[in-house]
């Protein structure tokens, strides 16, 4: 039986901070990422691909606001904007993955599943927004936006500017996960849990409703990976290995760490919120619930032996 991998990559992998955000740029970035997935496919992995949406959903919100101000169009809530982003990012990924498969004479279906994820409306995350979305701003512009509409901004840990932050509740239940697993184990490529999933809750018994939030895609991917009994979780970022004392003279790349060591580094504050911390928490969740390894690395090292940082049970 083939192994099953969940591969999670950020919205920044499709829309980079130094790019304008054109569809052509995002298509090329998606093509590059899909090419790298062949490493796993050629090593007999079936693949579920998940993705972030931080830059894209922020831009959708900006377009919403502009449409409201200029044309008096009704603004859409954040959960609908997440659904928008799932659809168009899934379309781009699916199309580019098909192009890659054709170029390498591989025959697989590529299926995008719009995914709702259940959250708790009383999650304390709603009182402490930490999830960055949208573009980077100067502090002056961020302060202006806060004064105008009450938006909350936080400085990027790498000093790239200030970004809007929104609530990021814990994912509890992922819809359609049995179908996701069945289709993937049949050998098809599944794109799911985009942007961490569309956040929803039960506003009444048997009545689902969306809620303003963006779920962390790494934690949602870890939850999905555990529930579908994945053999490995890959969390892709823009650095090859996890580092402690990041961006200091004492910076040190980590090849391997146990769950206990990862928890210790978290407690010591080595990993920034909105950056590496949620990736470490996601890896811990997956490893604890499956006793299988999670790997945090860059897309270029996907599937490479000893590439990235491996988090294991011991």
Distances (CA, A) of 269 to 96, 245, 266: 38, 9, 5
Structure tokens at 285: 């969740």
Question: Do 84 and 163 contact (CB within 8 A), yes or no?
Answer: no
Q: Say if residue 285 is exposed, middle or buried (CB neighbours under 10 Å; 0-12, 13-18, 19+).
A: buried
Question: Do 53 and 217 contact (CB within 8 A), yes or no?
Answer: yes
How far is 189 from 205, CA to CA, in rounded Å? 34
Question: Do 212 and 78 contact (CB within 8 A), yes or no?
Answer: yes
Residue 171: which of 109, 96, 225 has the closest Cα? 225
How far is 236 from 50, CA to CA, in rounded Å? 10
- Beta pairing, strands 173-174 & 242-244: unpaired
Active site residues: 11-12, 131, 217, 279
């Amino acid at each position: 039986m083939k192994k099953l991998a969940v591969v999670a990559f950020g919205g920044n992998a499709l829309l980079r901070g130094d790019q304008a955000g054109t569809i052509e740029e995002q298509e090329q970035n998606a093509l590059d990422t899909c090419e790298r997935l062949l490493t796993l496919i050629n090593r007999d992995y079936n693949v579920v691909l998940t993705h972030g949406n931080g830059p894209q959903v922020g831009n959708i919100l900006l377009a919403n606001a502009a449409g409201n101000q200029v044309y008096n169009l009704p603004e859409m809530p954040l959960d609908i904007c997440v659904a928008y982003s799932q659809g168009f990012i899934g379309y781009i990924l699916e199309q580019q993955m098909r192009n890659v498969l054709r170029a390498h004479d591989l025959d697989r279906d590529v299926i995008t599943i719009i995914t709702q994820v259940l959250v708790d409306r009383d999650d304390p995350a709603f009182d402490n927004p930490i999830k960055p979305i949208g573009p980077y701003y100067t502090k002056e512009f961020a302060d202006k936006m806060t004064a105008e509409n009450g938006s909350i901004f936080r400085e990027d840990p790498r000093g790239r500017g200030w970004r809007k932050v929104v609530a990021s509740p814990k994912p509890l239940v992922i819809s359609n996960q049995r179908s996701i697993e069945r289709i993937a184990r049949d050998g098809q490529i599944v794109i799911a849990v985009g942007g961490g999933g569309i956040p929803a809750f039960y506003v009444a018994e048997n009545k689902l409703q969306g809620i303003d939030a963006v779920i962390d895609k790494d934690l949602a991917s870890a939850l999905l990976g555990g529930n579908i009994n994945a053999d490995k979780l890959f969390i892709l970022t823009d650095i090859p290995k996890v580092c402690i004392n990041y961006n200091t003279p004492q910076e040190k790349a980590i090849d391997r760490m146990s769950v206990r060591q990862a928890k210790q580094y978290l407690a010591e504050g080595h990993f920034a919120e909105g950056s590496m911390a949620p990736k470490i928490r996601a890896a811990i969740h997956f490893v604890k619930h499956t006793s299988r390894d999670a790997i945090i690395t860059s897309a270029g090292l996907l599937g490479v032996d000893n590439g990235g940082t491996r988090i294991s049970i011991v």
